[in-house]
Amino acid sequence: MLYPTPIAKLIDSYSKLPGIGIKTATRLAFYTIGMEDDVVNEFAKNLLAAKRDLTYCSICGNLTDQDPCGICQDTSRDQSTILIVEDSRDVTALENIQEYHGLYHVLHGLISPMNGIGPDDINLKTLLTRLMENEVTEVIVATNATADGEATSMYISRVLKPAGIKVTRLARGLAVGSDIEYADEVTLLRAIENRTEL
């Protein structure tokens, strides 16, 4: 069915969002059309403000509305530890547990030889600059447990170990509430390797 041009364009815009298929985009477009004008205006204003006012921290690469970001400006944080993550959503997830008090570094991607993404294509150069300019004693690699995450962590480890910086990786293993019989071999191996004393 052909829709009038304005709604067809709105459907097309929504469908460009990740995880939004044409049916969901159509539903969202029609929902938006039915919203009050002031709500739509507020939504559009917030969308434009987020795009205009947000930037990446010049130190850690985290998404922020101030540069440097609040975490990098916080002198009470442990300046000797940097936790490396793939994107800003990971920083938020780790901050929510309120147990890590060091600094972060956001890569904005992972090394992926299969996709032609090398070390120069992600935010690694600024990490190396930070490490040369500061007294960092430990780097914690917190990339996802995927082939690209593993490749990235191994590369970082190879680059940093000669500098005498301790490189650690987040523990891997069985998720809380999971059954051993349904776990794959790699997960079980990681669980055994990363076991802790009770």
Q: Give tens-digit pLDDT for 68-98.
A: 999 999 999 999 999 999 999 999 999 998 8
> What's the pLDDT at 34?
95
Q: Which domains does the chain have, with CATH numbers?
A: 5-53 (1.10.8.420), 63-169 (3.40.1360.10)
What would the DSSP string read from start to end of the chain? -PPPHHHHHHHHHHHTSTT--HHHHHHHHHHHHHS-HHHHHHHHHHHHHHHHH-EE-TTT--EESSSS-HHHH-TTSEEEEEEEESSHHHHHHHHHTT---EEEEE-SS--BGGGTB-GGGSTTHHHHHHHHHS---EEEE---SSHHHHHHHHHHHHHHGGGT-EEEE----PPTT--GGGS-HHHHHHHHHT----
Mean pLDDT of the chain: 90
For helices 5-15 and 22-34, give the axis angle rounded to 10 degrees: 130
At 196, the pLDDT band (50, 70, 90 cuts) reads low
pLDDT tens readout for residues 13-55: 999 999 999 999 999 999 999 999 999 999 999 999 999 999 9
> Which of 82, 62, 100, 70 is closest to 156 using CA atoms?
82
What percentage of the chain exceeds 90 in pLDDT? 73
At 173, the pLDDT band (50, 70, 90 cuts) reads confident
At 132, the pLDDT band (50, 70, 90 cuts) reads confident
Residue 195, pLDDT > 80, answer no
> What's the pLDDT at 144?
87
Higher pLDDT, 56 or 146: 56
What pTM, to 2 d.p., does this model score? 0.82
